[in-house]
Amino acid sequence: MDARLRRVNKEISDCKNDKTSNISVELVDNSPFHLIGSFLGPEETPYEGGHFQVDIIIPDSYPFQPVKMKFITKLYHPNVSSASGAICLDILKDAWSPVLTLKSTLISLQSLLCSPEPNDPQDAEVAKHYMTSRASFEETARYWTHIYAGGPGKDGKKSGKTGDSRDEVAMAGLDKAHVDKFEALGFERSKVIDVLRRLNYRGANVAKLNDDRIVEELLK
Amino acid sequence: MSSDYELSDNEYYDEDDDEVMYDDEDGSASEMDVDFRISPNTKVKSYEIDFDSLSQAQVEKQISQDVEDISGIFGVEPEVASLLLRNYNWNKERLIEKYMDSATAVSIAAGLALPEKPDSSSRSRATQSQPVGAVRRTTRRNTNEQPKSGKTKILERVTPPLDDQPFVCPICFDDSQTKTMSLQCNHKFCTECWNAYTTSKIRTEAEHWITCMAEDCKLVATDDFVKSALKDDADVFTRYQELVVRHYVSCNKNLKYCPYPSCTHTVSCPAGASKSALTTIVPIVTCGASAGHKFCFGCNVDADHRPVVCGVAKMWLQKCQDDSETANWIKSNTKECSKCQSTIEKNGGCNHMTCKKCKYEFCWVCMGPWTEHGTAWYSCNRYDEKASIDARDAQSRSRASLERYLHYYNRWANHEQSAKLSVELYTKTERKMEEMQITSDMTWIEVQFMKKAVDEVFKCRMTLKWTYAMAYYLEKNNQKELFEDNQRDLERAVEELSELIESSIDPESALPLRQKVTDKTVYVQKRNEIMLEDTANGFLEGRWKWNMSIDGFDEPTEYAY
């Protein structure tokens, strides 16, 4: 049997047999080379209670070249693109070793959620948010977990409530009062959210950015 | 005179002395003709540069020389010395210095020894016996005890380990594999996996630094290990050796790899290695594999951009890539006859156009009547400053500078196109020449003059092309006038030769045509040398002044435009 197929089959059955790590992989289109992995958000993090899915593609030269992974579930994390789900993790690139497995890689992803590396970010805006205001960042991350990953949310509300304007502000990790203030000047709400998010109008940064600068940006 | 001129280059020059004298009357190259009277074959031309072409084997020889040196000094095996050197980017002095400080640290950094405390995650077996702290001694002992084996680090075993458990490769999970390999770290994997891994590293990642497959293990495979891991797959191992050579070449600033696809030659050109030298010389080199593998040692232009220096060539190419200015003229590949307005497309290399419809003869470049081009006041190559002043009065300043640019660009692009077209034309001519061989009594060698002429036209058009890039940036002064005089002489000669090449050939006119073409070729060749020589000397003497700031040169005193 083909060494790659044998190895992948063994890895899949290893994941299925392992009940302790809460990690599972499923086949897409019955091909063992395109999988969906999933794991639970680690405890005592903003991702707790969330169920995160990862798209896994096994390249032809596996295991000598790393697997290709990206998040299907949206999450708010400095090392994961909030738009595409692309992941910045060394073992998926040059630190890959053929002895690493799907299970160990997924566990590494899980531990990446515990300890973000904002100095080597995938999503610079999220990383800025993380660096300037941890509390606000965690609130937003928790909110995203609640909305997208079926997490419990701030007040233990049921998930799936999206769309209203309160959500947009919370999703961007902004303060509702700030958004209201600039909206009152006659700018579109979505534009205000976009600009404030881009300028990282949060926490201690609010004092550093004066209103003129924001309005200037809004007028562009 | 008509029979023997194929014999030697010297005869060309003798025959043409008269013409050179005549041309020097306009004062452009009077210092040059003295040089040309000295035998031109022995003289080193100032527009040429000393360089050596090295084959891969020659570079490998240099590498093994370095490796032997280090191996002798440190008392280690050559393959160990090779890894040490590679990790220090082939800088022998630095390696020796650091190795004397701490051989252990250097060996660890080079992936030759395990760090003092291997971390728990690495799967090295508890039975690993050697004290890893004593790396230097380990290496030494290996060399002393088994100096001739050369395989001290390849632990290939046919039998499974001592314990009862059958060996299961942690990568392919195959328990039927009995052959395993490991580096000094004793991380065992089956030979199949090592093979696939090294092949993938070399083929897909172009990597010559092949680490152990275990996670976080930094040990590096030696050449012998790679060879046995590849199971003597010669193709991949050759590629591996090539990658090592490439690494060596890229670390040495006197060396450059030939940029042509799949060429494995290296060029050594110490004169063109320093950045400051690039303001005075144009290091055009050719690798030994083929005369066509001509490239610039100083920049990444893979063509001959003489006579202009790299900085100017780069600026010009960048400017030409800028759509804003080129878009204006790119639109038209055709031009209108200035008399009857019929649209005309150029289909040959010569710039002497005759309108099919109204028979009007004109110059493709300046669109003026051709009659003016044969006379003494040939001025097609020069931007008409007077007209430019008028244009400035009538139109905005920016428009004038655009026109100025287009003047130079037009001529630049035109020479490039003409060069291509003359080569195309030659294929047609070649057929005619073959016919002539049959119909007339000329021999094969006698009909080769066409090939020589076309080659020369091509070469000169390339020079002319770049002289326009140079003229664009030259400050307007007497030196530029002289430059443009040389340019004009060359251009006129090239156009005349180009026209001769295109004239129709029949058995009667063949002999006189051959005479004319051969004479003209020699003359053009000489004009080209004058152009290149004078420009190169100008760079050496710092004679050229620029109208804008160029990397490596003094700031211009005032902007001409």
Percent of chain A with pLDDT over 90: 24
Q: Is residue B242 part of a domain?
A: no
CA distance B152 to B285: 44
Within 10 Å of residue B20's Cβ, how many Cβ atoms?
A: 18
pLDDT at residue A40 greater than cutoff 70? yes
Higher pLDDT: B151 or A118? It is A118
The SS3 call for residue A35 is: strand
pLDDT at residue A37 greater than cutoff 50? yes
**Residue A39 — very low, low, confident or very high, per pLDDT cuts 50/70/90?**
very high
Q: What's the domain range around B505?
A: 14-43+383-541
- How distant is the Cα of B175 from the closest Cα of chain A, in angstroms? 12
**Residue B299 — very low, low, confident or very high, per pLDDT cuts 50/70/90?**
confident
pLDDT at B384: 60
Beta-carbon contacts of residue A44 (< 8 Å; ≥ 6 apart): none
- What type of residue is A28? V
Q: Note the pLDDT tens digit of each residue in B80-107.
A: 999 999 999 999 999 999 999 988 889 8
Task: Give the 3-state secondary structure of B322-348.
Answer: CHHHHHHHHCCCCEECCCCCCEECCCC
**Lowest mean pLDDT segment, chosen from A72-81, B10-19, B451-460:** B10-19
What phi, psi does B375 have (nearest 5°)?
-90, 180
**Lowest mean pLDDT segment, chosen from A148-152, B282-286, B373-377:** B373-377
Q: Would you call B214 and A64 a contact, using CB atoms and an 8 Å cutoff?
A: no
Q: Would you call B204 and A99 a contact, using CB atoms and an 8 Å cutoff?
A: no
DSSP B157-196: BSSPPSSSSPP--TTT--SS---EE--TT---EEHHHHHH
Active site residues of A: 88
What phi, psi does B369 have (nearest 5°)?
-65, 145
Q: Is the dihedral of CA A39, A41, A42, A48 positive or negative?
A: negative
pLDDT at B409: 85
Contacts of A64 in chain B (CB under 8 A): 196-197, 200-201
Q: Is residue B196 part of a domain?
A: no
Residue B503 sits at the chain A interface (C-beta within 8 Å): no
Q: Note the pLDDT tens digit of each residue in B321-353.
A: 765 454 454 444 566 666 766 666 666 666 677
CA distance B306 to B286: 13
Q: Which of B190, B197, B201, B210 to mutate to test the interface with A (most CBs of A within 10 A)?
A: B197
Q: Note the pLDDT tens digit of each residue in B243-282.
A: 999 999 988 888 988 888 888 889 888 888 887 888 888 8
Residue B204 sits at the chain A interface (C-beta within 8 Å): yes
DSSP B394-410: HS-HHHHHHHHHHHHHH
Helix ranges restricted to H, chain A: 3-17, 102-114, 124-132, 134-148, 165-171, 176-183, 189-198, 205-208, 211-219
Q: Is B111 left (phi over 0), alpha (psi -120 to 50) or beta?
A: left
From the list A135, A159, A130, A153, the residue with the least C-alpha distance to A48 is A153
**Lowest mean pLDDT segment, chosen from A188-192, B276-280, B334-338, B527-531:** B334-338
From the list B438, B447, B543, the residue with the least C-alpha distance to B486 is B543
CA distance A53 to A148: 11
The SS3 call for residue A3 is: helix
Q: Answer yes or no: are the C-beta atoms of B185 and B138 closer than 8 Å.
A: no
pLDDT at B401: 67
Query: Which element (helix H / strand E) includes A33?
Result: strand A31-40
pLDDT at B151: 37
What phi, psi does B316 have (nearest 5°)?
-65, -45
Residue B207 sits at the chain A interface (C-beta within 8 Å): no
**Lowest mean pLDDT segment, chosen from A27-36, B258-267, B345-354, B520-529:** B345-354
Q: Is residue B183 part of a domain?
A: no
Percent of chain B with pLDDT over 90: 20
The CATH number that domain A3-114 falls under is 3.10.110.10
- How distant is the Cα of B246 from the closest Cα of chain A, in angstroms? 21
Tokens of A185: 């000047």
Percent of chain B with pLDDT over 70: 70
- Maximal C-alpha separation, chain B: 100
Q: Which of A67, A90, A99 to mutate to test the interface with B (most CBs of B within 10 A)?
A: A99
**Residue B4 — very low, low, confident or very high, per pLDDT cuts 50/70/90?**
very low
Q: Note the pLDDT tens digit of each residue in B17-73.
A: 444 444 434 444 344 443 444 344 445 677 888 888 888 889 999 999 999 999 999
Mean pLDDT of B473-486: 91
Structural domain total, chain B: 1
Contacts of A98 in chain B (CB under 8 A): 171, 189, 193, 197, 213
- How distant is the Cα of A11 from the closest Cα of chain B, in angstroms? 10
Higher pLDDT: A196 or B353? It is A196
pLDDT at B375: 53
Q: Is residue B480 part of a domain?
A: yes
Q: Answer yes or no: are the C-beta atoms of B524 and B548 closer than 8 Å.
A: no
**B335 beta partners:** B344
Assign residue B33 the CATH number of its domain.
1.20.120.1750
CA distance B71 to B65: 10
Q: Which of A64, A93, A101 to mutate to test the interface with B (most CBs of B within 10 A)?
A: A64
What phi, psi does B260 have (nearest 5°)?
-75, 145
Higher pLDDT: A160 or B485? It is B485
Q: Taking all residues of chain B, what is their mean pLDDT, rounded to a whole number?
A: 75
Q: Answer yes or no: are the C-beta atoms of B330 and B320 closer than 8 Å.
A: no
Residues 171-190 in B contacting A (C-alpha not used; CB under 8 Å):
171-174, 189
Q: Would you call A3 and B172 a contact, using CB atoms and an 8 Å cutoff?
A: yes
The residue ranges of DSSP E strands in B29-157, in sequence order, are 52-54
Higher pLDDT: B504 or B250? It is B250
Q: Answer yes or no: are the C-beta atoms of A20 and A110 closer than 8 Å.
A: no
- What type of residue is A128? K
Higher pLDDT: B296 or B364? It is B296
Q: Note the pLDDT tens digit of each residue in A70-86.
A: 999 999 999 998 888 89
pLDDT at B248: 92
pLDDT at B524: 93
**Residue B380 — very low, low, confident or very high, per pLDDT cuts 50/70/90?**
low
pLDDT at residue A219 greater than cutoff 80? yes
Q: Is residue B113 part of a domain?
A: no
Distances (CA, A) of B129 to A84, B103, B161, B184, B215: 49, 21, 15, 11, 21
Q: Would you call B197 and A97 a contact, using CB atoms and an 8 Å cutoff?
A: no
Q: Is residue B438 part of a domain?
A: yes
Q: Is residue B436 part of a domain?
A: yes
Helix ranges restricted to H, B186-230: 191-203, 223-229
CA distance B107 to B84: 7
CA distance B295 to A114: 53
Higher pLDDT: B146 or A133? It is A133
CB pairs under 8 A between A and B: 39
From the list B391, B380, B447, the residue with the least C-alpha distance to B415 is B380
Q: Is residue B298 part of a domain?
A: no
Residue B27 DSSP one-character state: S
Q: Answer yes or no: are the C-beta atoms of B537 and B46 closer than 8 Å.
A: yes
Distances (CA, A) of A11 to A32, A50, A69, A102, B110: 10, 24, 16, 7, 33
Which of A3, A61, A97 is facing B213, going by the closest CB pair? A97
Domain ranges of chain A: 3-114, 124-219
